[in-house]
Amino acid sequence: QKEVEQNSGPLSVPEGAIASLNCTYSDRGSQSFFWYRQYSGKSPELIMSIYSNGDKEDGRFTAQLNKASQYVSLLIRDSQPSDSATYLCAVLVWGKLQFGAGTQVVVTP
């Protein structure tokens, strides 16, 4: 079983709609969770971090964490073509980030 699992996609989302990305992790001791956005050929860019159960909103992004279910998600509201990228879920375990394989999001005009 992979440490951090994500659906690879691609997730096709109409412009203006909500993109919903999911991530599960295996280490119950994890306390810090991150979402990175990576454009093709570029390095990851941190877009959200979340540490406690519940929702955290930042602009058009909302991260949701449920430690009991070992589940973290990312919602992108009012999706724009510029949101087309691969979204990486990362979990901090013993000081090291463990990455999921990433979900490719394609926002169609």
* Residue of 62, 65, 72, 102 that binds another protein (CB under 8 A): 102
Q: Are 86 and 7 spatial neighbours (Cβ–Cβ below 8 Å)?
A: no
Distance CA 13, CA 83 (A): 10
* Residue of 34, 65, 73, 85 that binds another protein (CB under 8 A): 34
Do the strands 103-108 and 11-14 form a parallel or antiparallel pair, or are they unpaired?
parallel
Q: Any contact of residue 93 with another protein (CB under 8 A)?
A: no
Rule CB under 8 A: which residues touch another protein? 32, 34, 36, 41-46, 49, 51, 88, 92, 95-97, 99-102
